Amino acid sequence: MAPTPILSVIIPVYNAERTLRTAIDSVIMQRCHDVEIVVVDDGSTDGSWGIIESYGDRIVALRQENAGASAARNHGARVGRGRFLKFLDSDDFLFPEALEKQIEHAKGLPEGAISFGEEVSWSEELGRVSSAGRTIMFPPGSARIDRFLTALPTISAWMYPRQLFEEIGGFDVKLALLDDFDFCCRAILAGCVPCATPTLIFAYRQHETPGRISRRKSPEDFASIMSMYRDFTRRLEASELQYSKDAVAKGLAKHCWVNARTAHRHGCEDIAREMFDIARNLHGDGVAGSPIYRVIEKIVGPIRAETIGAGLKSVVAGRRGTQ
């Protein structure tokens, strides 16, 4: 039997023929060679599977009926043999030496810690990096976890110990949105510690393809998100954290508030109202918005504040259009 690799990089794929080679090649070209690449085709209808097959035994190629990114990631994690797991979206790519440096960082962390690194946005239109990388340095016990939870690094920035991933239960396949946020929050609520490395890990592509589609969110999407926050509330009450419960509650409340505002903008007023209530129950200072918004919300409540804000934006846009 082949020796167990230190890392499995899992790439879920859906109709990504235009960017897939770049993603896979960015892993193959890493200096760290004790790495297994697991590519999971999630029922693609374009040429993605042909590209995957062309790599032969350099990768582990898996194919499944379309079930979503979370199901594909979980499938890859079950098949992958690495001590650590890393998930790379098929339209993102790693920077040179990223894996070597992050593996060393992850190996030096205490049990229950999760490594994450820096990310940058890559503009397809410009053909270059469009924003500077950022990392929220997060020492164990930091009270700033509330800020961390409102600006969580995206999934390709993380490297998970396999044992931890399995204990947390993998990604929730019922969530069409925020599945990576859900997993990281479940890990934190179980007592895990996110730890940053100042290493540039990957580039996140800014574009629209069939594999990363910007779409109008449905009431069902927001209902599942609302259930997620309710679950977080229950877990928080029962958890024994390494951080201040108040700080975690504040971060979750602000994140919930932001998504409640989004739900309202998508016409889901009843769901938005419930999500605002969940945020308030999580923390008394969970309102997320500008100082002006916070003043208006305090006077008229969140639903009317959203209506007033939308009206003001419409007036401003109309004036700009006449100039």
- The verdict on residue 237 lying in a domain is yes
The one-letter amino acid code at 201 reads: I
Helix (H) or strand (E) holding 53: helix 48-53
- The verdict on residue 110 lying in a domain is yes
How far apart (Å, rounded) are the C-alpha atoms in residues 314 and 292? 17
How far apart (Å, rounded) are the C-alpha atoms in residues 47 and 21? 11
Kindly report the pTM of this predicted structure. 0.84
Assess whether 15 and 99 both reside in one domain.
Answer: yes
How far apart (Å, rounded) are the C-alpha atoms in residues 256 and 253? 5
Q: Which domain holds residue 191?
A: 7-206
Please provide the average confidence, as pLDDT, over all residues in the chain: 86
Q: Which range (138-142, 177-181, 195-199, 302-306) has the least confidence?
A: 138-142
**CATH number for position 102:** 3.90.550.10
How far apart (Å, rounded) are the C-alpha atoms in residues 2 and 12? 24
Last residue of a domain, one of 145, 179, 206: 206
Last residue of a domain, one of 174, 206, 238: 206
Asked whether the CA dihedral 22, 96, 115, 159 is positive or negative, the reply is positive
Assess whether 307 and 257 both reside in one domain.
Answer: yes
Please give the pLDDT value at position 214. Answer: 39
Q: If pLDDT is split at 50, 70 and 90, which confidence band does 11 have?
A: very high
Last residue of a domain, one of 206, 227, 243: 206
Assess whether 166 and 303 both reside in one domain.
Answer: no
Cα angle 22, 160, 56 (rounded to 5 degrees) comes to: 40
- The verdict on residue 213 lying in a domain is no
Residues forming beta bridges with residue 36, ordered by sequence position: 8
Residue with structure tokens 């190996």?
A: 107
Assess whether 133 and 249 both reside in one domain.
Answer: no
Assess whether 167 and 31 both reside in one domain.
Answer: yes
- The verdict on residue 2 lying in a domain is no
Q: Give the pLDDT mean for 97-117.
A: 92
Provide the token pair at 50.
């042909």
Tally of domains in the chain: 2
